[in-house]
Amino acid sequence: MSPVLPRILAVSALLAALGASSPLVAGGRHHATPLVDIAAVDRDTGAWLPPTRHRGDDWIEGRPGHRYGLRLTNVTGGRVLAVVSVDGINVVTGQTAATSQTGYVLEPWQTLQIDGWRKSLSQVAQFVFTDIGDSYAARTGRAQNVGVIGVAVFEEARPWREPPAAIAESQAGKEAAVDAAAPSRRAVAQAQSMQSSGTGHGAREHSFATRTTFQRATTLPAQVLRLRYDDRDGLVARGVVRSSCCMQDFPHAFPGGFAPDPPGDFRN
């Protein structure tokens, strides 16, 4: 059995933990049903940021200057590890993100809100929607992945093992799927040229954490979530949402209601 590595943190009384551990098998298991649900909330208004589906991605609108949080819910009866990235950066360590890194461990059925970049066991720097130049990614020379939030979910190791042949087949399938899904450099450059908003390194606030341990059942994540964001102008430019100034610039064949009398008509 692979050793369990330390450096896992748990946040507040919820005991959601952060950290990486050694895998037991090589393949990943992608579930038909989700392990974790993700939602975003505007912390300045208290409103949920509902996603809009567009060309295979879920998009949310971020209002410049507003703080936001990411709410993760474990919808299973077992512990799971969620490695979280914002703008291609691990929200715990500040490293350029990889699924093998430190993340948050959620207890069964637990909901955890992540409100910023972790600075210590007691503080985070708030997530704030800002322009790209002021984003944490740009200020650290890593602006190429601004505008995307990612969560890689791992199940905890169990005593059973898969047959070696099944593991090898699973691994080969995952690698092929990753290669097929990789976007071209031109597509990436085009998408980034339209991006207006990023996530800033905001004010410090208290967010307590403790250390725990977690052993992954697999090397590859069982579930990968992606949530993209931009400000209103960026979403309009991509066609994700329609410009508010043009919402009524077309006639309606059936606007509803009854026929009113024309002004000044007293014949009835």
Taking 90 as the threshold, does the pLDDT of residue 26 lie above it? no
Q: Is it the case that residue 224 has pLDDT exceeding 60?
A: yes
Statement: residue 19 has pLDDT above 90: no
Cβ pair 49, 42 in contact under 8 A: yes
Q: Residue 245 has which token pair? A: 């100034």
Band of residue 256 on the pLDDT scale cut at 50, 70, 90: low
pLDDT digits (tens, 9 = 90+) for 173-218: 333 333 333 444 554 455 556 788 999 999 999 998 788 899 999 9
Q: SS in 3 state form for the chain?
A: CCCCCCCEEEEHHHCEEECCCCCCECCCCCCCCCCEEEEEEECCCCCECCCEEECCEEEEECCCCCEEEEEEEECCCCCEEEEEEECCEECCCCCECCCCCCCEEECCCCEEEECEEECCCCEEEEEEEEEHHHCHHHHCCCHHHCCEEEEEEEEECCCCCCCHHHHHHHHHHHHHHHHHHCCCHHHHHHHHHHCCEEEEEEEEEECCEEEECCCECECCCCEEEEEEEECHHHHHHHCCCCCHHHCCCCCCCCCCCCCCCCCCCCCC
CA atoms of 85 and 88, how far apart (whole Å): 6
**What's the average model confidence in pLDDT over 49-59?**
95
Residues β-bridged to residue 72: 38, 112
Alpha-carbon gap, residue 143 to 162, rounded angstroms: 40
Contacts of 162 (CB under 8 A, 6+ apart): 25, 27, 170
Between 74 and 258, the higher pLDDT residue = 74
Average confidence (pLDDT) over 211-238: 94
What's the confidence (pLDDT) of residue 243? 73
N-to-C CA span, the chain: 90
Burial of 25 (0-12, 13-18, 19+ CB in 10 A): buried
Kindly state the percentage of the chain with pLDDT values over 70.
69
- Please enumerate in sequence order all residues whose Cβ is within 8 A of that of 45, keeping only pairs 6 or more positions apart, or say none: 66
Residue 70 has pLDDT above 50, yes or no: yes
**How far is it, in rounded angstroms, from Cα 45 to Cα 66?**
8
The whole-number average pLDDT for the span 77-102 is 96
